[in-house]
Structure 1
Amino acid sequence: MKRNIKGLTAGLSPLSRQTILQVESLAGAADVIETVDEARRAQKFDFDGNLMRTWPELVEEMGAGLGFQSGNNGYDFVLAAYRDCMRDVIDDHEAGVLLVISNAGRLLNRDRKYSFSQWVELIGDVALYAGETITDGQWWDRGPRYFKVILEVASSARTSRRS
């Protein structure tokens, strides 16, 4: 099952038995060639989806792990600010970024103020940004960066979703 959402591919992936969704950049596919070596060089960040039951918790956990401030414990942290912080993370990691969220069943099933689909679109925007080549003649110029998000669910959660 794959579907295209605003420049990114979301769907079932054969990476592991527990991977249910994989988000990766499609921007500049000729420039950003995914290899095992690129994935190994990328900075990997692991998160526990059990600690991300609400939008503020998601922002706080990812912010703590990635080193950005959410302000007011995440409650007033809007999507645009989150996207800007994620772009900074991309810019700060030349070898790329790999985000792995285990126990992501609750993230996949939540439907609150910021629904999961809005988060996926935001991550898609970040993936497109990662795939860009920036040539402004300034210190922030850079080539495309490796970026991937993997959401994992326990096999029991996948079984319960099918029934």
Structure 2
Amino acid sequence: MTDPGAAIEQMILHPHHRQLVDELRAAMPVHQVDQVDAAADHARRLLDAAGDATSRDLTALPTWLRRCILDTLARWAAGAGSTCRHRPSPSRPAPVVAACWRPSLVVCVACVPLISRPPYWECGGCGEAADATETAQFGVLLFMFTTCPDCRVAR
């Protein structure tokens, strides 16, 4: 079986990705497109309010981070991960949060404290000691990750 995160990454990096997304959105009921867009806008506003400027096009992120985000999304969509007690679901678009140090846990915004940081921060990019936490957005997902100065994403 193909790794779902890797399969999604292949699709996102495909030269006709934008066209495919537009076609899928056109086939979706308008109310679902509106809900997904509203939830993604809400997530963007939360990121802006936190003063985090890491949100960029997913293809512009380092491979290690993009893969971690996509693996988390694939697990969540398949129902293979854990959620907070509010049980956020891709079928009910709302901003959600996950972290590289707990990739199988997706929580609603109210339950972010459940994603406690490990006592020792390890850089998601190279494995060295990390000194910062950053956040990237992909649609409704706000994804926290730790970095060292050499692997910093927000520059």
Which band: TM-score by shorter chain?
under 0.3
Higher helix share: 2
Q: TM-score, normalised by structure 2?
A: 0.25
Q: Which has the higher contact order (CA 8 A, sep 6+)?
A: 1
